[in-house]
Structures are given as C-alpha cells and as structure tokens.
Structure 1
Amino acid sequence: MTRLRRPSPQTIAVLQALAEEPTTWRYGYELCQMLDVKAGSMYPILIRLADRGLLETAWEAEPPPGRPARHLYRLTREGIATAETASATATDAAPAATERKGLRVRWEGV
C-alpha cells in the first residue's frame, strides 16, 4: 500500500514557482535563489518531483564555452494540476502562511 504524504512547504513553494511560468525551463540554481532554498534541499525535491512525473527534465543543449551543461526543469500537465491542488490546500490550511515578494516565496508558521 502506498502512503500518500502531504508535500512539504518547500515542495509546494517549488511547485508554485514553476507554475508561475509552466512552459519555461528553469535551472535548479535559479530556483534556489528565487526561493532561498539551499541546494541540498532543492535537488532532492526536484528529483522526487521528476520521479513522480510532475517535472520534465532536460540537459542544456548548448552551454556557454567553458561551462558544463546544466539540468533544466519544467512542469508536466500533471505537475501543473498538482501545483494548483497543493497551493489551494496550503492556502486553506494556513491562509497567512505565504508572503510573496516578486518571485520569492517565504513560508512561515507552516
């Protein structure tokens, strides 16, 4: 039996950030900066979301000379639906939990 778990506040923040422009490819580092989440937390979240079919992943096609290719992420259709559901659930559970400043998301009291 598979246990359903409620996504963490950081996972919800990642889904929301990606849902703002769901067709845009994003770098993990870019998401770290946007959400003020450390890489040690961000990349496991991205890997889990990709493993669950919520993210599409690809390698950068033409990296600048002298820099290795970076991994890119964007939401799948299922990921967009999950982001909407998770966002609504988080808002219902704690309406004052989010504070948005541009593209930056902070979670407090969740």
Structure 2
Amino acid sequence: MRMTIPVARVLSALLADPEAPRYGLDLMRLTDLPSGTLYPVLHRLRAAGWLAAEWEDIDPVAAGRPARRYYRLTGDGVRAARLALAELRALAPEGRPSRGGAEPTGAPAW
C-alpha cells in the first residue's frame, strides 16, 4: 500500500475508533478530503484487504435517504495501518510536530 497523505488521513480517522463503522460523508468530514480523493483511497484499501465494506439494511423510502455504505478496518487492516502510520511518523522530518501516543486520535494535520 502506497502511503500518501490522503491514505494516512483515512487510516488515522478509521483507527481513532476501529470498531466504529464509518460512511463516506462521515469520513469526508473527519479527513477534510473531497469525495474524488476519498473514494479512490477507500477502493485501494478494500483491494488490499485492509478495509471491509457493507451496505446498511434500510428502506430508503422510510429512512428518507439512500442506504449508506459503511467501512471498517479488518483485523489485518488495523495491524497494517498502525504499522504504516508508525513508520510514517518515524520518517517525519525533525521539527514537525509529533502527534504522540500509540493511537491516532483523528486525521493528521499534514
């Protein structure tokens, strides 16, 4: 998986609460990424086996909105994402503020 800033932002957002299912608009808000950047990242993460996705089971008419597709890191995805973000932080240039802690709390400020 090529670690780009958008990928790092998505992984950080998902790792903030790995058990919480997230949908596209939720991830767009958490990462500050537009849909044209977010959805290709989600597709790449799914193709790599890091991300699972499933449609919610609702009646769109009764709910008054379309069904959402929820994304969640797989077990392998959680491990790989933590390792990839730790390696990325280790490569950060001197003087760049550290986010500290073992668990990311949200999208990095990169």
Please confirm whether the aligned pair reaches a TM-score higher than 0.5, indicating the same fold: yes
8 Å Cα contact 1:98-1:105 kept in structure 2: no
Q: Hey, which of these two has a bigger chunk of strand by percent?
A: 1
Structure 2 segments unaligned to the other structure (5+ residues): none
TM-score calculated relative to the size of structure 1: 0.81
The answer for the alignment partner of 1:28 in structure 2 is 24
Supply the AA of the counterpart residue of 1:9: I
Shift of the 28–37 alpha-carbon distance from structure 1 to 2, 3 Å rule, reads: same
TM-score calculated relative to the size of structure 2: 0.81
The answer for the alignment partner of 1:81 in structure 2 is 79
Deviation at 1:49, TM superposition (A): 0.3
> Relative contact order (C-alpha < 8 Å, sep 6+): which is higher?
2
In 2, distance between residues paired with 1:42 and 1:73?
12
SS of residue paired to 1:105: coil
Count how many residue pairs are aligned between Structure 1 and Structure 2: 102
The answer for the alignment partner of 1:105 in structure 2 is 108
The answer for the alignment partner of 1:45 in structure 2 is 41
What whole-Å deviation, never above 9, does each CA across 1:3-58 have from its counterpart, x for those lacking one?
xx531011011111101111110011111111111110000000110111100100
How big is the alpha-carbon RMSD for the aligned residues of Structure 1 and Structure 2?
2.1
Runs of at least 4 residues of structure 1 off by over 4 A?
97-100
In 1, distance between residues paired with 2:13 and 2:91?
19
SS of residue paired to 1:22: coil
Residue correspondence of structure 1 range 55-74 to structure 2 within 5 A: 55-62=51-58, 65-74=63-72
Structure 1 segments unaligned to the other structure (5+ residues): none
Deviation at 1:86, TM superposition (A): 1.2
Identity level (%): 37
